[in-house]
Structure 1
């Protein structure tokens, strides 16, 4: 039996983004997971227009081929793990747009997060969880946060150290997040089936 599939979605599309560093670390931690398969999905590669459909795809099919391709990609996943950048106390515009480009494909699927910023991306993740609730997703309680001195140690504008130098601080929350993600992925996949 195939393992449930989880998309690890990089939410920032800026050329100078920090996201690649924590995303690479996260994918290394997830590569041999015994119960879930993880695939990196970069919003840079999706070529999504700004949302301009007459309505959400909950109510009518989307007409833009890139939006439809995005929806079809999302449909193949059983859950999501967002790499969340905090921009001005919220999520990136690119992530909000990507969320708005689909609806049915998010419903009744769990999501986890690795959030970062001076405050650990906590405010952005709070917004993402509220959006997820409206999309009928299952936002997990646990998350991985890179904040404070850990963030400034690994951020290019700070110490630019490798994530491995702070990973002992991240691994307990990653373990708890993955345990929760496995449980909710199995539960929601069974219920959707």
Structure 2
């Protein structure tokens, strides 16, 4: 029989909003396959509610000029970032770093990232996108976001998934994703509570 002490606390049952940012817009990109797997992991948890922002849908000028066209695109993206308690950023590795389109989307926003946690998932060849992840850590630190320690990376990503988009061996990635998302939830709750108690001083 459950006692009062066995019952989950309000903090343990609180649902966090997480926005998955799909960071590739290259023709023939592999990102949607990894994104679908990630969404299954996110939606399989009762402590997270997921939304998606796809860089491929973000036709933003690199000049950062708030043109009517850019404002229209931002109207669909910025609210998803603003209301998120946490983020998962999915990036490939292009030329030892992350895509320009992802950097552009990040640069169009500032307060939306601030004092929130970011989990990083990468894919690529032999390096599995880890160099892109390390560069993103520096970018998000400058934006006053907190990147969680553990990541998920897919080395030789094309060979990791079958023709149906399913992982050939899900045990390792599933375990890594659970660890990463557990950390994201911890930071998400801690920082949400801190923001509610006092404004973050940037």
TM-score normalised by length of structure 1: 0.85
Report the Cα offset of residue 178 of structure 1: 0.8
Deviations 1:44-94 (A, max 9, x none): 2233221434xxxxxxxx665147523333111111101111100111000
- Residue of structure 2 aligned with 1:16, choices 5, 16, 28: 28
* CA separation of 1:122 and 1:34: change in aligned 2, threshold 3 A: same
- Residue of structure 2 aligned with 1:179, choices 176, 179, 182: 182
- Stretches (4+) displaced over 4 A: none
Give yes or no for contact 1:49–1:67 (8 Å, CA) kept in 2: no
Q: Does 1:153 align with 2:156?
A: no
Q: Considering only aligned residues, what root-mean-square deviation do their CA atoms show, in Å? A: 2.0
**How many angstroms apart in 2 are the aligned matches of 1:108 and 1:4?**
15
Q: Does 1:123 align with 2:131?
A: yes
Unaligned runs of 5+ in 2: 1-12, 197-202
Tell me what 1:58 maps to: none
Q: Larger Cα Rg: Structure 1 or Structure 2?
A: 2
Count of aligned pairs: 180
Tell me what 2:114 maps to: 107
Tell me what 2:6 maps to: none
**How many angstroms apart in 1 are the aligned matches of 2:164 and 2:130?**
22
